[in-house]
Structure 1
Amino acid sequence: MVEEHVILVNESDEPIGLMPKMEAHEKALLHRAFSIFVMNDKGETMLQQRAKNKYHSPLLWTNTCCSHQRDGESNIGAGKRRLMEEMGFTTELKELFSFIYKAPFDNGLTEYEFDHVMIGTFLGEPNINPDEVADWKWMLPGDIKKDIEENPDRYTAWFKIIFERFYDHLMQNIPTT
């Protein structure tokens, strides 16, 4: 299998080169990524539990899907591709915001990403890829926020960072009825 490459970027998200994914994480170099939050009509967010065999953060809970864009691939196109590969469905996606974050791991790898955060809606059950995902569930954003505060070790490092921004975005932009 050919190793995936990530798009190295500067702090303005301008591409400056390509590098094998593992090398970029070993060297903690800034690269383009995306994070998807899928919601249902009850206002719940679909979470996934990472597969046991993942090279970092196995069996931790995180957002619906996240990965890296391929060279020449749009953010939305990359999101739809990876959502199908991991969760077995696709939906329309909308980019909400982007930001840079850095999350080091105990195994020496570091996520240093220019992250494009997207949202979509889905009302069915996913057909999860067991090589990527161990489990999934729906949770209300307020319940996620509370559980992260009470049980931070259950969640991926990047999800805790991204969710805080996503939650703030939801509270500021989605009308309550």
Structure 2
Amino acid sequence: METVVLVNESDVEIGLMEKMEAHEKAMLHRAFSVFIFNRKGELLLQQRALRKYHSGGLWTNTCCSHPRPHEDIKAAAHRRLREEMGFDTELVKAFDFTYKAEFTNGLTEHEFDHVFIGTYDDLVQPNFDEVENYAYRALPLIEAALKNNPDFFTEWFHIAFPKVVSWLAENKS
């Protein structure tokens, strides 16, 4: 049984709940999203496996999940990057946001989402139980696809992607 960490609007832990129950009851819980770019500035997108419990087959950021109880959020992001995409790289915490999205199957994502950003140019070895496909894409192409084919992307990606683009612009080195 997989458990998620329930939090309040300030990301203070208030309890634990079985993952599916939390999604059935729309309980706010801790999550993370990882955005990996190559040196050309292209984002590594993931197409979620078709059999996922929601948003199967939709395109999204490089990986995302929930930390385990008592697991450091950044450590969880590294763990899940290895589990889903078959690699690890340095990650920087960029920002966090809260969102709520209802799905046609009756589940609701209500997450306090911590966003991490990294750079990677080597071999990607996705876990095909989690990932249907993957591709690096330039930001203008992603922006156009979000506008022209919004149903091809996950709910949280629509919210997080523009925030990541803004963060990148503000944090150029």
**TM-score (normalised: structure 2):** 0.97
Tell me which residue corresponds to 1:44.
42
1:34-58 Cα distance to aligned partner (Å, 9 max, x none): 0000011000110000111111111
Q: Which residue of 1 aligns with 2:160?
A: 162
2:60 to 59, 62, 81: 62
Query: Could you say what secondary structure the match of 1:119 adopts?
Result: strand
SS of the equivalent of 2:57 reads coil
Tell me the matched-pair count. 173
**Deviations, residues 61-115 of structure 1 (Å, cap 9, x unaligned):** 0000000011111111000000111001111111000111111111111110000
Which residue of 27, 30, 48 maps to 1:29?
27
Could you say what secondary structure the match of 2:17 adopts?
A: strand
Q: Distance in 1 between matches of 2:172 and 2:154?
A: 25
Runs of 4+ in 1 over 4 A off after TM superposition: none
State the secondary structure of the residue aligned to 1:16.
strand
One-letter amino acid matched to 1:128: P
Gaps of 5+ in 1: none
Q: Percent identity?
A: 56
The answer to whether 1:11 aligns with 2:9 is yes
What is the RMSD computed on CA atoms of the aligned residues? 1.0
What letter is aligned with 2:112?
F
Name the CA distance, whole Å, in 2 between partners of 1:137 and 1:115: 23
Q: Which runs of 5+ in 2 are unaligned?
A: none
- Distance in 2 between residues matched to 1:27 and 1:128, nearest whole Å: 31
Amino acid at match of 1:54: K
TM-score by length of 1: 0.95
